[in-house]
Structure 1
Amino acid sequence: MLIDSHCHLDFPDFAPERDDVVARAVAAGVGLMVTISTRVKRFDQIRAIAETYDSVFCSVGTHPHNAGEETGITVDELVRLSAHPKVVAIGEAGLDYFYDKAPRDAQAEGFRRHIAAARLSGLPLVIHARDADDDIAAILEEETGKGAFPFILHCFSSGRGLAETGIRLGGYVSFSGILTFKKSDELRAIARDLPHERLLVETDAPYLAPPPHRGKRNEPAFVVHTAKVLADTLGVTEKEVARQTTENFFRLFTKVPHASSSG
């Protein structure tokens, strides 16, 4: 079994055929999916999707792109919403200096609020990091000093230094379809050197479809292609990558019941 640890099933791209998308994923051997929140104000939609499918869980949080819109979201509210049985993570939150769609101070404040919520709830924080390696690492160092919290660097495309910092602080690293792209030799080299017990796979669907679907809408079923490239990169079998990443998922996403993988 494989697990898509990060997708966005609430996005309009999937609305016309969400049932089929989930069914195709399960048919492809993707036993579980986590659909990730980007706006707390739209959390009801995310939660409804997770409640609809046995194989789908969700998170609650504010994407850094939307940090400026949701400055009023409190730590207490995140923790309260995370109590729902289907909510298994906080986020995604973090810093994005590539698009800079929200003021950087609002991104940082939001990031710290989500860290506090992860620490209080015990749920893993899903971290979005783009072109902000140094500031992400500094905040992780500082906040871990206040008290450890579980986290994952999702859709990893940053430098080796951030990966190593994340691992040292107890975090996990998740690879998306970017790992499969021809120009991602440096990223594959980073993946090759990380501890196998800290690796996960994801799609970030509907974005970043791996070959042979490059340029098309991504969907959770396609995580099998990323897992294959990760296996080749690590020099292990696809079966071993499926076993290891699934084991890692349950170790990090502790709220997901193991029994759900057969549902």
Structure 2
Amino acid sequence: MFTDSHCHLTFPELVSQLPAIRQAMADARVERALCICTTIEEFDDVHGLALAHDNFWSTVGVHPDNEGVTEPSVQDLLDRAALPRVVAIGETGLDYYGMEDRKGGRSIADLQWQRERFRTHIRAARACAKPLVIHTRSASDDTLAILREEGEDGAGNRAGGVFHCFTESLQVARAALDLGYYISFSGIITFKSAQDLRDVVAFVPLDRMLIETDSPYLAPVPYRGKTNNPAYVPLVAQQIAQTRGIAVEAVAEATSRNFEALFKGVRA
């Protein structure tokens, strides 16, 4: 019934609990999950989950925040994207959040390596015709500009993809939709302080929406502050249903259908 379109089951908080997580998913009617890769070094483990379980799939990519890791070429990404059960390129994008605290006082100009890495992922996605899983934080202008510069303008012959764990403005959501991208919402939409984001939930068409946990992070209310896992994704769907005044079953059906439309070959 429900699909978690973005989770990190190889992270230390979750990997040792996989049997219990899978049982919890079944109990919560969470039928599928996309396991997200954040470094080339991590890929074999992420891909291994997809190969071992018929309701898991994998991506390949390097998260914009990761430094001191293997920097992939387009060919590195294409080689892995061609493997069975790899359905997307990413997590990729830009992250300018907390420049002073998190990035040692560097300026946005100093993050050219992030922008070049993002371009590499876009080119790989276009070359293999698989969608992008995009992370953008405090960097939406550059994220959208680079997508357009690389040909992701909403016209034909594009990779497409999803803006995952969306936390940006309604204006950014509109721009992403205009480029043909999906918007994915996480447990953040259940937080009391997230009314602006719930306004975006009300705006995004149901046929362009995905749900996710981004586990082990961002557990929805009433589990906020605890370790997240894919069994909690129905709580995201429930918040969307409440915000839009529709049945949770409608949200589950639409977001699962959208998952299949975006990530080809993921029918369980």
**TM bucket, shorter chain:** over 0.9
User: 1:174 Cα shift?
Assistant: 0.1
1:62 is aligned to 62
Task: Map residues 143-154 of structure 1 onto 2, 5 A cutoff.
Answer: 143=150, 144-145=152-153, 147-154=157-164
User: 1:99 Cα shift?
Assistant: 4.4
Cα distance in 2 for residues equivalent to 1:122 and 1:180: 34
SS at match of 2:167: coil
Cα distance in 2 for residues equivalent to 1:16 and 1:187: 33
User: 1:67 Cα shift?
Assistant: 5.1
2:82 is aligned to 83
8 A Cα contact 2:28 2:231, kept in partner: yes
Structure 1 unaligned regions, length at least 5:
none
1:133 is aligned to 140
RMSD: 1.5
Q: Which moved more, 1:61-70 or 1:33-42?
A: 61-70
2:15 is aligned to 15
Match of 2:262 among 225, 233, 252: 252
Cα distance in 2 for residues equivalent to 1:124 and 1:23: 29
Q: TM-score, normalised by structure 2?
A: 0.92
SS at match of 1:34: strand
Cα distance in 2 for residues equivalent to 1:70 and 1:159: 32
Higher helix share: 1
Q: Does 1:158 align with 2:168?
A: yes
| Aligned amino acid, residue 198 of structure 1 | R
| Aligned amino acid, residue 65 of structure 1 | D
| Aligned amino acid, residue 161 of structure 1 | Q
User: 1:70 Cα shift?
Assistant: 3.1
User: 1:236 Cα shift?
Assistant: 0.9
User: 1:16 Cα shift?
Assistant: 2.1
Structure 2 unaligned regions, length at least 5:
104-109
SS at match of 1:40: coil
SS at match of 2:42: helix
Q: Which moved more, 1:148-157 or 1:18-27?
A: 18-27
Cα distance in 1 for residues equivalent to 2:126 and 2:158: 7
| Aligned amino acid, residue 79 of structure 1 | L
Cα distance in 2 for residues equivalent to 1:68 and 1:164: 34
| Aligned amino acid, residue 12 of structure 2 | P
Count of aligned pairs? 257
8 A Cα contact 2:74 2:124, kept in partner: yes
Match of 2:181 among 171, 176, 197: 171
Percent identity, aligned pairs only, is 42
Q: Does 1:117 align with 2:124?
A: yes
8 A Cα contact 2:62 2:91, kept in partner: yes
Q: TM-score, normalised by structure 1?
A: 0.94
Cα distance in 2 for residues equivalent to 1:63 and 1:112: 13
Q: Which moved more, 1:103-112 or 1:219-228?
A: 103-112
Cα distance in 1 for residues equivalent to 2:239 and 2:31: 19
